[in-house]
Copies of this chain bind each other. A is one copy, B any other.
Amino acid sequence: MTRWPIPEPMERALALARAAAADGEVPIGAVVVRGGQVIAEGRNAPRATHDPTAHAEIAAIRAAAAALGAERLADCDLYVTLEPCAMCAGAIVHARIARLYYAAADAKGGAVEHGARVFDHPQCLHRPEVYGGIGEGEAAALLRGFFRDRR
């Protein structure tokens, strides 16, 4: 059996996660894709930037909205290496992201299939299509390696 290849945007998100780790940040990366092209990128950087909101998804969404000059990213998809937290899931709702692809699930901090399950409430204004698991081995190994090296 040949394993299904990781889509290019998720490979780019994994590369951004590696770059975050090299800077001492928890390795998480994200990209926003529109019409098959990566239009914005983000990586986790709360330590370097002194910004508790500087998660990969927030950075990528802000950059995409700035690039498009629009508050909403309705025809855009987000690829991220880890299941989004409540903050990032909320931002995905506000940005009207069409499809969310994430690699590893996060039973502790995730808020899509765990915890707050932000998209699963009747009040949720927008629910993206959600696809999980592609690239999860690579994403989880990056996180494990990062925390092991810090012990």
A-side interface residues toward B, CB under 8 Å?
46-47, 50-53, 55, 58, 61-62, 65-66, 68-73, 85-91, 93-96, 107-111, 114-118, 121-125
Contact = CB atoms under 8 A, between A and B. Distances in A.
A52 B93 CA distance: 9
Nearest to A109: B123
Nearest to A70: B50
B69 A50 contact: yes
A91 B61 contact: no
B125 A95 contact: no
B94 A111 contact: no
Contacts of A47: 71
Given A52-B61, A52-B91, A87-B87, 10 more contacts: A52-B65, A52-B95, A53-B62, A87-B89, A88-B90, A111-B116, A111-B118, A114-B123, A116-B117, A116-B118
